[in-house]
Amino acid sequence: MLRILLLAALVSLLVGIWKDGIAHGWLEGVTIIAAVVIIVCVTAGNNYVKEMQFQKLNAIAKDISVPVTRSGKMRNISVFQLLVGDIIQINTGDKIPADCILFSGSAMLADESNMTGETAHLKKEGIDQIDEPKITTDVFLLGGSNIVQGTGVAIVSAVGKNS
């Protein structure tokens, strides 16, 4: 639509100058160009404000509370305050906030498809369940993966950009 308006402005400018001369012929074409500039500025400003609102809402949505044991005390903290060495409680339906090592867990299945692309749910075993380590033993929970089944306790091994 804006291209059509700009084309119309150019045609109006040329025809106006040709018919009425340069003194008065440019007025209609420049007016159309000014209207296009106003439309573009208002639209850009509106899009900018909406993007800033979206960024704020997105930041609020990412700031979830996680049950953590730190210094022997259980408390709920923001995922942005997690530190390496924190012990977190994991339940069915939870999203893993950071890379972790599973200490104990019961019948845990993790969906790591958003991290690895693997669509099958992966069985996770706690360190306390391992009698003899095997190559198929998986005690690592990737940050951002979802727990489909099971509960457990894990220690945070990497946070932020190191995750």
Residue (of 144, 148, 156, 105) closest to 127 by Cα position: 105
The number of distinct structural domains making up the chain is 2
Whether 71 contacts 107, CB under 8 Å: no
Residue 70 sits in the same domain as residue 84: yes
Average confidence (pLDDT) per 10 residues, the chain, 163 residues: 88 88 85 91 96 92 86 88 91 91 87 84 82 73 90 91 80
What does the pLDDT read at residue 133?
67
120 and 82 within one domain: yes
- Burial code of 49-87, b = ≥16 C-beta within 10 A, e = fewer? eeeeeeeeeeeeeeeeebebebeeeeeebebeebeeebb
Examine the domain organization and report whether 76 and 151 are in the same domain: yes
Q: Of the residues 62, 80, 106, which one is the last residue of a structural domain?
A: 62
Residues 92 and 70 in one domain: yes
* Claim to verify: residue 27 and residue 103 sit in the same structural domain: no
58 and 76 housed in the same domain = no
**Residues in the chain, total:** 163
Same domain, 46 and 111: no
Same domain as 73, residue 56? no
- Is the pTM for the entire model greater than 0.85? no
Range of the domain at 86: 65-162
Q: 34: burial class by Cβ within 10 Å (0-12, 13-18, 19+)?
A: exposed
Contact 12, 32 (CB under 8 A): yes
Claim to verify: residue 57 and residue 88 sit in the same structural domain: no
41 shares its domain with 72: no
Q: What residue has token string 């992966």? A: 122
